[in-house]
Amino acid sequence: MGLFNIFGKRDVSSELTKSSPYRLATEWVPYRIYANRKSSSTLVVRIKNVTEEPLMTSVVVELPKQLGFESIGMTKEREIRFGDIAPGEEKEARFEVFSGPQSDAGDYTLGLTAIAHYRDYGHVINAVKKKVIANVV
């Protein structure tokens, strides 16, 4: 991409697609959600940029049908847009997860996706997926 060199920009997309651009860590506070009643727990997601470039970042959490992001359990997917995360910088997001009368005891798998964007949030360079277990007792 010689055109980018003229304007002082360089093409780093090939470097960012080779390996994982993020380190993801999750934590539940409190650790358990109670079954068959209205109960909640907070999923804390920490994301760290491990590349040498600033990255426009968003995080998407997907829930199973037995859980929800509000007490009535209608919303099953939530996205948080962080904007640019500098190299080595770590940011944190909190997602309140609720159980309800339809939530039986057991382990539920949540999907967590961290996405690296360019230009705007419609263009994706790379994504990191992680499975998170919610313990419902």
Q: What is the pLDDT of residue 73?
A: 87
Q: What is the pLDDT of residue 19?
A: 79
Strands 106-118 and 120-136: antiparallel
Domains delineated in the chain: 2-136 (2.60.40.10)
- This model's pTM is above 0.95: no
Q: What is the pLDDT of residue 102?
A: 87
- Name the stretches of the chain with pLDDT < 50: 1-8
Q: How far is CA 10 from the centre of its chain?
A: 28
CB 10 within 8 A of CB 4: yes
CA gap 109, 126 in Å, rounded: 22
Q: What is the pLDDT of residue 2?
A: 45
- Which pLDDT tens digit goes with each residue over 46-57? 999 999 999 999
CA gap 33, 38 in Å, rounded: 9
